[in-house]
Amino acid sequence: MATAYNYRLSVAPMLDWTDRHCRYFHRLLTKETLLYTEMVTTGAIIHGKQDFLAYNEEENPVALQLGGCNPEDMARCAALAQERGYNEVNINVGCPSDRVQNGSFGACLMAEPAAVADCVKAMKKAVDIPVTVKTRLGIDDHDSDDFLYAFTDSVVDAGVDQLTLHARKAWLQGLSPKENRDIPELQYDRVYKAQERYKGFPVAINGGIKTTESIVNHLRNVHGVMVGRAAYQNPWLLTSFDETLGSVANSVSREEVVEAMIPYVNKHIASGGRAWHVVRHMLGLFQGLPGGKRWRQYLSIKGPKAQSGESLLKGALDFKNDHKKPISELMT
């Protein structure tokens, strides 16, 4: 099964985290990595009053993750995404949230492979961009290879362009969405087996991946790697991704990234937004470095009421570097 799907590294769709401000920031750290939106439901796109497809052109390549199970609605939203310039549309069959279960999308759809296959077929007819699926290894007590392959065979046969497998099953009964990110056992070997099953077809692995070394190791066994919380909490990790993919290493400094974000923050404020909407995604920029905690403290205290991106971000840099300034000064 030959494929033209070329994205090998991506940042996972994460609810309340990977919004357009986060993705703009992340794009300064990596040029090649595919960035995903938060999950957006078909109902929000079709019936919502705000523009749920808005994004910055600078974010490309960017993929829209859709939540839904009605083939007509999924196809309609995929077409709208293609019109707006998205590079991919992804179907959410992995999220274990209560909100997801009630809306008949997310991980619960693993039990309905024919329904997801119908969505894939309808979307493929509507768009030329890749249609992909993100899912888990199973749900509740249904976590055998037979159950997994009944689902993945169905969507692969339907023409899906790529699969991302979160290397855990989802407990829909008894665990919260947060607990589902950690408690179910990671089973990387099962994702490797799936890649073996679909030779020449792009399978990506997701779940618990935190270092460049682990990314390189996974890429020896699967086509792609999706990184989630580690990329958000320690965004500097993203600067290693382009070189990992064989491209030119990103030589930007953290301070240059901060400078590049100032006009973006100011533009958002001028449009009626708040600086905090943007800078909350930058808290981990100096993770693990001297002054990293002071950087987070300054942004967390000053960010919510800031009226200027320049004074906020430059003030945070100054406070990070001047260890003689007490944190009590920030309270005034």
pLDDT in tens, 93-148: 987 765 555 557 788 899 999 999 999 999 999 999 999 999 999 988 888 999 99
Tokens representing residue 151 in the block: 């689902």
Residue 213 identity: E
Task: State whether 193 and 263 are in the same domain.
Answer: no
The Cα 45–Cα 261 span in angstroms is 28
From 139, 152, 151, 150, select the one nearest 202 (Cα to Cα). 152
Q: Indicate whether 112 belongs to any domain.
A: yes
- For residue 3, name the pLDDT band (cuts at 50, 70, 90): very low
Query: Would you give the DSSP letter of residue 240?
Result: G
What pLDDT is attached to residue 170? Answer: 77
pLDDT in tens, 200-225: 999 999 999 999 999 999 999 999 99
Q: Indicate whether 249 belongs to any domain.
A: no
The Cα 229–Cα 14 span in angstroms is 8
Q: Which residues are catalytic?
A: 95
* Total structural domains within the chain: 2
The Cα 112–Cα 115 span in angstroms is 5
Task: State whether 182 and 211 are in the same domain.
Answer: yes
Instruction: Report if pTM > 0.85.
Output: yes
What pLDDT is attached to residue 239? Answer: 97
Q: Indicate whether 4 belongs to any domain.
A: no
Task: State whether 230 and 188 are in the same domain.
Answer: yes
Task: State whether 138 and 271 are in the same domain.
Answer: no
Q: How many residues does the chain have?
A: 332
Per-chain mean pLDDT for the chain: 93
Task: State whether 239 and 268 are in the same domain.
Answer: no
For the domain that residue 195 is a member of, what is the CATH number? 3.20.20.70
Between helix 309-321 and helix 254-270 the angle, nearest 10°, is 150
- For residue 171, name the pLDDT band (cuts at 50, 70, 90): confident
Strands (E), the chain: 9-11, 34-41, 62-67, 88-93, 131-135, 162-166, 203-206, 224-227
Residue finishing a domain among 209, 244, 279 = 244
3-state secondary structure of 37: strand
Task: State whether 48 and 102 are in the same domain.
Answer: yes
- Look up the domain containing 36 and give its range: 9-244
Tokens representing residue 40 in the block: 């957006």
Residue finishing a domain among 244, 264, 285 = 244
Mean pLDDT over 138-164 rounds to 95
Task: State whether 123 and 238 are in the same domain.
Answer: yes
* Alpha-carbon dihedral sign for residues 224, 229, 232, 233: negative
**Is residue 182 scored above 70 in pLDDT?**
no
